[in-house]
Structure 1
Amino acid sequence: MKRNMFTLLFAVGFVTMASSQAYEGTIQYDKKKQRAVMIDYGFTAEAVENAFVQKMARLGYKPKEEKGILNKDKGFLVFKNSYVTDISSERMDYIVKVERKSRKEKDEAVLYVILSRDEKNLMDALSPEDIGRAKSYLNNLLPDVEAASLELEIKAQEEAIAKAEKKLRDLRDDQASLEKKLADNKTDQENTQKDIENQRQSLGVLMGKRKPSF
């Protein structure tokens, strides 16, 4: 019984570490602090971003990414005029940013979602129910994040196998090349030995032609 209770507590603790509950906060965007819905995940930023993008893609939406060396909003993903019924019955712009929690915590990420329309932050205008649904949307994203993380691990493992297979092919090619060189070397040695024997025979013939001196 105690063992089962420990297992249950461990499982609950793992889920808590993997994802906390969504909350409200701020992030700098468009030259000002913006209110946003946020959540922490115990996964890499790449996995979290992939999960959100893929879920929006299933609804038919692709993001525009903020780019440019001098663009202070670089890295934000903007889903314009999107209709996400799990959050609201109205179309909105979903402005998304995923960041690593810290340099040390590479497997911890923070997801920010700004709810906007016509370049205006809607957090003050939305009902508590809509904001609550936005938080639930992020809370319920965890299985998608886990799946995205697994796909990244599978991809990394496939790449590791492909790299190892290439190394093995290169080693086998090197072995074949060395074996050919050894075979050629052996043939050259045999031919050189025959040449030496022929040269010795020729030397013997020449030396046999010497006239004795008295």
Structure 2
Amino acid sequence: MLEAWTTILQEFGSSLDNNLVECSKRIFNKYVQCHLAPPDGCRHSDNGEAEEIEDSEDNDRIRFRDQLQTIGMFGRVIPGHAMPVLFKLLESRIQRLVSHVQAMQSRAMNISEAASLDNLFEDIHWIVLISGHVLCMDSDGETPMIPSEVMQYSIEQHNRGETTLDATIKAFVAVESKVAVPEDFLSVESDPDRLPRQGY
């Protein structure tokens, strides 16, 4: 079903009429929701059929390649919607992960917490997969490139004053030097570009 949209997006994606934008938002949101655990999503649990996480990542990337490429196209049609959604989801899951790790340092996890942690890992896995396909175009035998839509979105953010060059450079320096996250890195006031924040 998603593949049928590929032709529509390639044919009419540059015109961006309201109907295409609204359809893109709905389809993108529903796809993301279907890959998240409740309460934010509607993904069904595997009922004890645990997979190895490292195997699952490659398997999902290959098994759902066509879907991920198509949903990446949807995300690039609506970057002003897709990027903040993915960033907020990733940020909330990382905060939950930090809470779990801190709790594990003081006591052993119970069965419910272990199941919650499995769901959290799966959420992060899918958010990263979807984000990667929005931010880069997958191509066989070539280095994945940052699409022009993503670069244009970043430039428009800067031109509207939604981001500052200094905050974005600080974000890149923090990633490069592998230091702790700067204190104002996640605050709205610091205005770094969402793209490096998502990569961090």
User: Which structure is higher in helix share?
Assistant: 2
Q: Larger Cα Rg: Structure 1 or Structure 2?
A: 1
TM-score (norm 2): 0.26
User: Which structure is higher in strand share?
Assistant: 1
TM-score (norm 1): 0.25
